Amino acid sequence: MSERGTTPGTSSIVGLKVLVLAGGRSAERDVSLSSGAAVATALSERGAEVFALDPGMSPRVLTWSPQLAKDQIGTTPPEGLTGSNPTIAPSDIAISELKNVDVVFIALHGGDGENGRLQALLDMAGIKYTGSGMLASALAMDKHASKRIFLAEGIPTPDWRVLEDADELDYEEAVEALGSPLIVKPNAQGSTVGLTLVEKKSQWGDALAEAFRWDSRVLVEQFIDGRELTVGIIGDQVTPVVEIKPKHKLYDYECKYTDGMCEYLCPASITPAQTRACQEQGIEAFRALGCRGYARADFRMDKEGRMFCLEVNTLPGMTSHSLVPKAAKAAGIDFPELVARICRLAI
């Protein structure tokens, strides 16, 4: 699939009234605040009229600045947050705060900012917003549901089992069904929160406990021994493929948000055929879930060069560490143009 570059500055948003939502109550709160600050700064630079709200705090007004945009993110998720956080309610975002807004830029990650609940509220209020709609957001956040759709659409994905109780599957049964090592992760979290690579039986119990700490459903997944790849989708354009080389065995939370813990190659050092396969399967996964606007599709490529789609992220990070901005830059789209284009796609 071809990549089309662009000249920075082609999407005019001068005078556009944009509300940036960032922060929230999910385990990805720190990442969201950094994304929101970067987005607000870029939109302001492009001439938009920008203000920001943090629906997870009172007062809700978010103070954003270039300093906050420099990724003040810890090496672990914020303390005190779990999968049972209070949900976003209509009172968290008053309609009076939205009535004069042209578009809401959703820079929330995880939780009710990304699982369709917020999108449903905005739909009912008749407010335009960035990213996918209610149903696509819900399906993409639910890894079990999205993987079933991938299989139905012929998009390879690692084999898995879904658990609602830690006693449903023991270690030996999991290894027999899925091989070793195993991935254990919450069914509906992002940024690899609660994820463990289980290489031996002694890790099994702790891995399940950690995953269930963040969600009431847990995925036990086949580990694909190979390379970590990702591709962005922006409207009808697919970006160059990014290859991720973490210092740890997995691209975990610490590697994602700590300087020097990852090497990123964009475009990825893979063959043209492998690049096409990754891009084509990425856009297929995006469309299979009914996504719109922009998203990021994550893959593992095995040693034979076969692609396995892990998930589609409907509100990918917009920090300096984030992958969609890196891929967009390689396609000739600078960060201010990227966020402007995302706003234009929404309206």
**Rounded distance between C-alpha atoms, residue 108 and residue 314, angstroms:** 11
**Rounded distance between C-alpha atoms, residue 143 and residue 212, angstroms:** 15
Q: Concatenate the DSSP letters of all residues of 81-134 into one string.
A: --TTPPPP-GGGS-GGGTTT-SEEEE---SHHHHSSHHHHHHHHHT--BSS--H
**Residue 220 β-bridge partners:** 161, 184
**Rounded distance between C-alpha atoms, residue 315 and residue 27, angstroms:** 14
**Rounded distance between C-alpha atoms, residue 242 and residue 259, angstroms:** 17
Catalytic residue numbers, as ranges: 28, 191, 257, 296, 298, 311, 313, 317
**Rounded distance between C-alpha atoms, residue 18 and residue 195, angstroms:** 34
**Residue 17 β-bridge partners:** 49
The bridge status of strand 160-163 relative to strand 182-186 is unpaired
Cis? peptide before 267, omega within 30° of 0? yes
Instruction: Give the residue from 316, 249, 250 showing the smallest Cα distance to 282.
Output: 316
**Rounded distance between C-alpha atoms, residue 337 and residue 329, angstroms:** 10
**Rounded distance between C-alpha atoms, residue 290 and residue 138, angstroms:** 11
